[in-house]
Amino acid sequence: MVAVRNVDLLILGMGAAAELAAIYAHDALPDLNILIASKALKGKGGCSRMVQGGFNVVLNPEDSHEKHLMDTLKGGQYVNDQDLAKQLVEEATPTVKELETVCGCFFDRYPDGRIHQKPFAGQSFDRTVHKGDLTGIEIISRTTEQIFKRRIPVLEETRAVELLLDASGETVTGALLYDMRRDEFLAVQAAATLVATGGGPTQYRFHAPGPEKSADGIAMLYRAGARMRDMEMIQFHPTGLIIPGSVVAGALLEEGLRGAGAFLYNGAGERYMQRYAPDVAERATRDVVSRSSYMEIMAGRACSEGGVHIEAAHMGAEFVLSNFPGMAERCAQFGYDLARGRVPVSPAAHFFMGGAWIDTECRASLHKLFVAGEDAGGVHGANRLGGNGIGESCVYGRLAGKSLARFLRNDRSIKETAPGLIDALTARLREPLARPGGRNPLEVRHDIQETNWTQVGVVRNKDDLEAALSTFDSLRHDVEHATVAPSRACNMIYNVWLDTRSMIDVSIMAATSALLRDETRGAHTRLDFPKQRDDYGLFNTFLRRGPDGKPVTEKKPVQFKHKSLEDCRQWKK
């Protein structure tokens, strides 16, 4: 029998979006019964904590929200949800100030006391706020302290595995959780549920997010029937460390390094970005640099380690060590000297631009369901600018908290979960523990990652995408019929199996959406359609899970509500 717990607000995740939502909801309604479920330990997991570079925000009188918006739309290649993009840039300014005044963050300063802002790729102004190159640790450390201060309860090492629905299937009633320490399920029913688990495209061979990430939130949203968007748009960060044999292969050397003047070289010693983006070279947007690096590697011009090299030594060892201490230390751990030599890097899967459809109140398509951070889509369009990721998490966490407080001020009723649903889900999730003869989830995960890397990766084509979908059908069968040895606590292989359930769902969504877009745009590159086609491609892809479990898709034209196509095309960074 699964224990059931009722709360006013259930928050899934504990990154910046989740923590700020909890803080702002609590401060608006201090009597609110809030519960946070975190897959990791408090303040120790997730992608927000891993942010190195910084937070894009308009603070300087010579900058403007207009410029930041145009940079964001240009970077997103015009297919952003303009309401969300406008909200991001306008709300970033009060959000970063309140990170300091409400949460206690302290960002780097100019000598006169103003918050320091540094250059980032794709920006028309130096607007990136940071704490050295360890910005995420500063934000998460301080926001976690505020969670403690408000005594908001947290279930650590407790992952969400499914959203719960009422009998109609149109209202979310909470979530089924899995306590990884105790090997126990818990059903939490709530008047409102926020999904803010973070994305993390770890379904690729090289990936930047930490090993606990597996796109659980995006997969749960899809399985629950939420409307999803732009799932073909997966960002590959251009500079993931090549670390042979290591589970952290793909760990990032962040945007600020190239923004400060680091160079990229192919195996022949050529600064190849001068060919692909002569005006901005290494400071081109992530999609351009990743695609260029990949093309150099595929053309046989890789360095001896199999990727390309990044070099910062020409800026001076003292400058590199004082401005990028976290990156320098990370490189040194693996025998690389960032301050004095060249370091091998490769594009690494980094970020979902797609996710659940939301409105400006963070409401998703199902009743009583809210989404914030990387689990939501639309803000970034076809490519996210460096510094807009932690910005989105903080901005929409803050906004979600306020929106949830408004919602719960008027309605704290908990709808009844569909009869038998909790027991049926739990029984299904226990099946691998009693099944003989299935595949090991570690092998299945490897096959998912290799299929995505070779066929749904940096560069795509129709034949590969169709082959990938066929392979994913087979791998879904392997996931559903896998075998896991029973263990009463901390069953690592069982958690890998739960990861593969999420990975296969997001893989199918990405490949299906990629087949719908017969062009190259932003992070989506099609070798068989190498041109960006504005006469054709100004649409967003949407999908839902159909009755047969497969995606039902549609395309809808981009709404140019605030800036016209011509405005976007003419904008020069």
Instruction: Name every residue whose Cβ is closer than 8 Å to that of residue 447 and which is 6 or more positions away in sequence.
Output: 471, 475, 478
d(CA 168, CA 419): 11
Q: Provide the residue count of the chain.
A: 573
- The one catalytic residue among 237, 291, 363, 524: 237
Dihedral, CA atoms, 10, 12, 17, 18, nearest 10 degrees?
50
Task: Tell me the C-alpha to C-alpha distance, in Å, between residue 178 and each of 9, 110, 126, 187, 564.
Answer: 18, 46, 44, 9, 47
Task: Choose among 74, 53, 145: nearest CA to 380.
Answer: 74
Task: Choose among 219, 169, 155, 185: nearest CA to 416.
Answer: 169
Task: Choose among 387, 376, 393: nearest CA to 18.
Answer: 393
Supply the DSSP string of 121-151, one letter for each residue. TT-SS--EE-STT-HHHHHHHHHHHHHHHTT
Number of H helices, E strands in the chain: 16, 18
For residue 526, list its beta bridge partners: 460, 529
258 is catalytic: yes
Lookup result for tokens 């999730």: 429
- Residue 207 carries which DSSP code? B
- Cβ atoms of 159 and 216 within 8 Å: the answer is yes
Residues 469, 471, 474, 476: is their CA dihedral positive or negative? negative
d(CA 488, CA 555): 46
d(CA 338, CA 324): 9
Lookup result for tokens 């398509």: 365
For residue 237, list its beta bridge partners: 348
- The one catalytic residue among 258, 283, 291, 380: 258
- Cβ atoms of 277 and 573 within 8 Å: the answer is no
Question: Strands 158-165, 172-179: parallel, antiparallel or unpaired by DSSP?
Answer: antiparallel
- For the record, the structure tokens of 569 come out as 């095309």
Long-range contacts made by residues 325-331, C-beta under 8 angstroms, separation at least 24?
325/132, 325/133, 325/134, 326/52, 326/132, 326/133, 326/134, 327/52, 327/133, 327/253, 327/254, 327/257, 330/241, 330/251, 330/253, 331/241, 331/253
Residues 533, 538, 540, 541: is their CA dihedral positive or negative? negative
Q: Which residues are known to be catalytic? A: 237, 258
